Amino acid sequence: MRRTHTCVDLSKKDVGQEVVLMGWVHRRRDHGGVIFIDFRDRYGLTQIVFNPENNKEVHDRAHILRNEFVLGVKGTVIARPDDMINSNMQTGEIEVMIDELRIFNTAVTLPFQIEDNVDASEATRLSNRHIDLRRPELQKTFIARHKASMAVRNYLDGQNFLDIETPFLTKSTPEGARDYLVPSRVNEGQFYALPQSPQIFKQLLMISGFDRYYQIVRCFRDEDLRADRQPEFTQIDIEMSFAGEDEIMGVAEGLVKKVFKDVIGKEVQTPINRITYKEALDKYGLDKPDMRFELELKDISEIVKTTGFKVFASVVEKGGLVKAINAKGCATFSRKEIDDLTEYVGIYKAKGLAWVKIKEDGSWQSPIAKFFTPEEQALIAEKTDMEVGDIIFFVADNPKVVNESLGNLRNLLAEKMELIDEDLFEFVWVTDFPMFDYDEHEKRYSAIHHPFTAPFEEDYDKLETDPLNINSRAYDLVLNGSEIGGGSIRIHDRAVQERVFAALGLTEDDYKEKFGFLIDALESGAPPHGGIAFGLDRLIMILCKQSSIRDVIAFPKTQKASCLLTAAPSFASTDQLDELSLKVVLDD
């Protein structure tokens, strides 16, 4: 018996043909006499029929069929009478009358039904992922993922990029995320690290003269998980020589254009708008602004720095900010709703959430109204575009707290106010990131992007004197409020690289031990180069409108980084540990 068609192929034009289908029993309807089965494979559903008048022996055997049995069936395609056409099914005009039945395998009762509207908990689904993955809805996601990968390869191949593999067993580096370590048996007591990204290797490939490199590659970071973060994830990794920001961003734009076109048939408008990091924070509070709606933040620090309202005035005096956001027409928010929003901004360390409702007569209803002079009220009203029926929220604190709390509040309000069109895909480039920030815990500067990112040339002098005021040649691509890609122009000059390491507080011995091979390579004839990496999982997640990255990874891990299907990780045997010269010491 050999498969002739899939469960989506057959239609009226095939009536009369003898066909062989192979797949799973999706649902059965046994009438005692005639038996109907919705027969499923990767491609779709076809109704197959066992009729005693057609073939008694096969019909008798078909009584034992149950959900998820695996069958091969041979039969004749017949047209359904007009009143029995199922218009909900792609193959609803026909059915297959079965003459020959092969039962390849039976199936026990499954822990949950194979249906699109899942009602099993995620833990149950992950423990039975092979079954979960039978759901057509999930299969669609992985088909989309495949198409996206193909689009990436086709596009980059067309642009002369070479796919070159880089090692997974590599060197642990300081800076950045916690490494996954792999013990070396041959070198007792020594460890490899799994790559957080192929960053240094792709730079070395540029130095080798490969000019244009890409890879769809797994990366590993041992950090805590989130709805959009897994310990292993996939990057579309790209690097180009002799290219500046515009060329790299151009390639990136061509790439997303191709992916969106091929996978969901959407046209992405290019060039994609660019805003600076500073502008993003000013207007939206976050460095990954959701551009599907307006709802901009307004800085009223200048207006309130001399106000009688000490909470605002003293914050500005200490170098903080007071910013406002106008939720148009939301003066109807209840006390409870405002309390909930206050609690929400508390997550981001905001100590409070001041508010003003504009009453019908245009006056302020607000616990803080009495602190402001009419002139101040007028200036604030103008700045925030206050109108009757609006509610304006204020946060006063240091810039980080103000921006993070109001930026996230902005996203929450947009959702609550239903300002988000779920069919929109709004891209934006964020550029001119600061080079460093100050790590309070470690009492040193740390790189915002990574230590190989080039500063702007005019800022070189500040490396030793004023590192916090250097901007880097880094850029992030943001889609619907999610960072889906990021890259930079790299340092290709040994001296500059050493000055950046020094600014990060690394001693010469430190950076020579950890990055000596890179520094040496930089003086061996390194071309100017730069690149970008996309988070493929996140991109697919947004493309397929999924709320969790786990839904776009075939075998994902739980929040505690365990695999419920295989029960990894697990303890190693004493023999394994001995071979690796390892000893496990557990805390109490």
With CB under 7 A as the rule, give the number of residues binding RNA: 68
**Per-residue buried b or exposed e for 524-546, using 16+ beta carbons within 10 Å of the residue's own CB:** eebebbbbbbbbbbbbbbbbbeb
Among 8, 20, 34, 502, binds RNA (CB under 7 A): 34
Choosing from 22, 240, 447, 521, the residue that interacts with RNA (CB under 7 A) is 447
Q: Is 11 in the site for RNA (CB under 7 A)?
A: no
- Separation between Cα atoms, residue 270 and residue 253, nearest integer Å: 7
- From 337, 373, 368, select the one nearest 355 (Cα to Cα): 368
User: Considering only residues 13, 42, 57, 123, which one is a binding residue for RNA as defined by CB under 7 A?
Assistant: 123
What is the secondary structure of 111-159 as a DSSP string? SS---SS--S-HHHHHHTHHHHTTSHHHHHHHHHHHHHHHHHHHHHHHT
Binding flags for RNA, 287-326, as an x/- string (CB under 7 A): ----------------------------------------
Interface pick for RNA out of 32, 189, 209, 374 (rule CB under 7 A): 32
Smallest gap from Cβ 340 to RNA, in A, equals 11
Q: How far is the CB of 365 from RNA (least distance, A)?
A: 30
Q: Rounded to the nearest 5°, which phi and psi values hold at 156? A: -70, -35
To RNA, the closest distance from the beta carbon of 375 in angstroms equals 37
We find the least distance from the C-beta atom of residue 268 to RNA, in angstroms, to be 25
Residue 300 CA to residue 278 CA, distance in Å, equals: 17
The 3-state secondary structure of 432-445 reads CCECEEEECCCCEE
Q: Which of 229, 305, 416, 462 binds RNA (CB under 7 A)?
A: 229
Torsion angle of alpha carbons 543, 545, 548, 549, nearest 10°? Answer: -10
**CA dist list (Å): 228 to 84, 151, 217, 246, 551:** 45, 23, 17, 29, 10
Binding RNA (rule: CB under 7 A), the pick from 479, 514, 550, 553 is 550
Q: Please give the residues from 455 up to 474 whose contact with RNA meets the rule CB under 7 A.
A: none
Could you tell me which stretch among 12-20, 169-177, 367-375, 489-497 binds RNA (CB under 7 A)? 169-177
Site string for RNA, 342-381 (x = CB under 7 A): -----xx---------------------------------
DSSP letter string over 489-552?
Answer: EBP--HHHHHHHHHHTT--HHHHHHHHHHHHHHHTTTPPPEEEEEEEHHHHHHHHTT-S-GGGG
The least distance separating RNA from the CB of residue 226, rounded to whole angstroms, comes to 4
Q: Binding string, 188-227, against RNA, x = CB under 7 A?
A: --------xx-x---------------------x-xxxxx
Mark the segment that binds RNA (CB under 7 A) among 46-54, 136-144, 371-379, 506-514: 46-54
* Only segment of 108-116, 321-329, 330-338, 524-532 that touches RNA (CB under 7 A): 108-116
Candidates 100, 122, 232, 296; binder of RNA (CB under 7 A) is 122
- Least distance from RNA to the Cβ atom of residue 252, Å: 17
Q: In this structure, what DSSP letter does residue 242 have? A: S
DSSP 32-76: SSSEEEEEEETTEEEEEEE-TTT-HHHHHHHTT--TT-EEEEEEE
User: Cβ distance 213 to 205 under 8 Å?
Assistant: yes
Which of 142, 145, 190 has its CA nearest to residue 169?
A: 190
DSSP letter at 223 equals: S
Binding of residue 548 to RNA (CB under 7 A): yes
Beta bridge partners of 538: none
Q: What is the DSSP letter of 184?
A: -
Contacts of 366 (CB under 8 A, 6+ apart): 354, 355, 356, 357
Of the candidate residues 18, 30, 415, 579, the single one contacting RNA (CB under 7 A): 30
Residue 135 or 221 with smaller CB distance to RNA? 221
Task: Tell me which stretch binds RNA (CB under 7 A): 23-31, 181-189, 313-321, 376-384.
Answer: 23-31
Is there binding between residue 417 and RNA (CB under 7 A)? Answer: no
Residue 88 binding RNA, by CB under 7 A: yes
> From the list 2, 82, 105, 109, which residue makes contact with RNA (rule: CB under 7 A)?
109
In the shown chain, the binding pattern of residues 57 to 76 toward RNA, with x for contact by CB under 7 A and - for none, equals: ---------xx---------
- Which of 305, 327, 325, 302 shows the shortest CA–CA distance to 314? 305
Would you give the distance in Å from CA 284 to the centre of its chain?
A: 20
Among 80, 147, 462, 512, binds RNA (CB under 7 A): 80
Kindly state the tokens that stand for 560.
């505690």
Rounded-to-integer distance, Cα 327 and Cα 52, Å = 68
Site for RNA contains 572 (CB under 7 A): no
Binding site for RNA (CB under 7 A): 27, 29-34, 36, 38, 47, 49, 51-53, 66-67, 80, 84-86, 88-89, 92, 95, 109, 111-113, 119-124, 126, 175-178, 196-197, 199, 221, 223-229, 347-348, 404, 408, 441, 446-451, 548, 550, 558-560, 562, 564
